[in-house]
Structure 1
Amino acid sequence: MTELDPIIHAAARLRITAALATLDTGESIAFPRLQELLDMTAGNLSTHVRKLEDAGYVAVEKTHRGRTPVTYLALTRQGRRAFEDYTETLRSVLGERP
């Protein structure tokens, strides 16, 4: 049996990756908006985003809107592929056909 990606498999990281996968390629979401959508604390979200970033699955862009710092998150090409592979493997484990 093929193993599920342990980076994505953690519940919080799966939720983050799934949410980011709903964005079109090249789109990003502000950190506070994702935090609100997932109902996660800033610290918890930050910790899991860091794991995904270290794996090359999430791109983090820190910028400013006026004088206010803003952090944007997006799936990388590698992250999108990993999520697609993860969902395909999960379907296989569950006995579903593509």
Structure 2
Amino acid sequence: MTGQLDPVIHPTHRLKICAMLDTGTPVEMSVIKDTVGLSRSALSKQVAALVDAGYVNQERSHRDSRRIWLTLTKEGKKAYRAHVQALQEIVAGSIQPS
């Protein structure tokens, strides 16, 4: 297996958040909240885990401090893509028994 599952990204909601951010375009937190279907507090906890791991950056809007924009860091993008690759390998059955 060449990809590696990442325990920080693996929970479903964090995986969905990373998938939305993988485009490289900043995404407003309220858009992620509506798309992923989490409450503000639940989303905040999921994002905090990603920020603490160094995978996501948060930036408040200069015009409206209530608006928060999220982006994947280079490390986050690398970890997310390795995680997706590992999932694809598992689904494709490319893992051989030892």
Same fold, TM-score > 0.5, yes or no:
yes
Q: Among residues 41, 44, 60, which one is paired with 1:43 in the alignment?
A: 41
Q: What is residue 15 of structure 1 aligned with on the other side? A: 16
Q: So what's the TM-score if we normalise by structure 1?
A: 0.83
Shift of 1:92: 1.4
SS in structure 2 opposite 1:33? Answer: helix
Listed as ranges, the gaps of 5+ residues in structure 1 are none
Shift of 1:96: 5.4
Q: So what's the TM-score if we normalise by structure 2?
A: 0.83
The amino acid of 2:12's aligned partner reads A
SS in structure 2 opposite 1:7? Answer: coil
Give every structure 1 segment of 4 or more consecutive aligned residues whose post-TM-superposition deviation is greater than 4 Å: none
Matches within 5 A, 1:1-98: 4-21=5-22, 23=23, 25=24, 27-65=25-63, 68-69=64-65, 70-95=67-92
The whole-number CA distance in structure 2 between the counterparts of 1:16 and 1:56 is 14
Say what the alpha-carbon RMSD is for the aligned residues.
Answer: 1.8
Shift of 1:34: 1.4
Q: Which has the higher strand share?
A: 1
- Contact kept in structure 1, 2:26 and 2:71, CA below 8 Å: yes
The whole-number CA distance in structure 2 between the counterparts of 1:19 and 1:80 is 11
SS in structure 1 opposite 2:58? Answer: strand
Shift of 1:48: 0.4
Identity of aligned residues (%): 32
Shift of 1:9: 0.5
